[in-house]
Amino acid sequence: MTEIIQILATFTSPENIGTTPQSVFWLLPLAVAGCVVYKAMKLPEIRLGIFLREVFALLAFLIGLLFIIVLALFAVTAIST
């Protein structure tokens, strides 16, 4: 019983990831999981080839969009300072 309580206690405090540029890479597993779940719910029929193609297309779009947002925020920061 104490092991279960210890495991549950780990969910009561947030994980400290930090604010370094390398911490952005923690977003990749979250993005992959989100794309897989979203496409699994939206596709009417799941075939492996089509499913993987759709997941990678959505993942590429998401990462590209995030990269553009990062560049825009970097430009705003560089101009304002």
pLDDT in single tens digits along all 81 residues of the chain: 888 888 888 788 777 777 777 777 888 888 999 999 999 999 999 999 999 999 999 999 999 998 899 899 989 999 998
For 36, residues 6+ apart whose C-beta sits below 8 A from its C-beta are 55
Closest-CA residue to 59 (of 81, 80, 38): 38
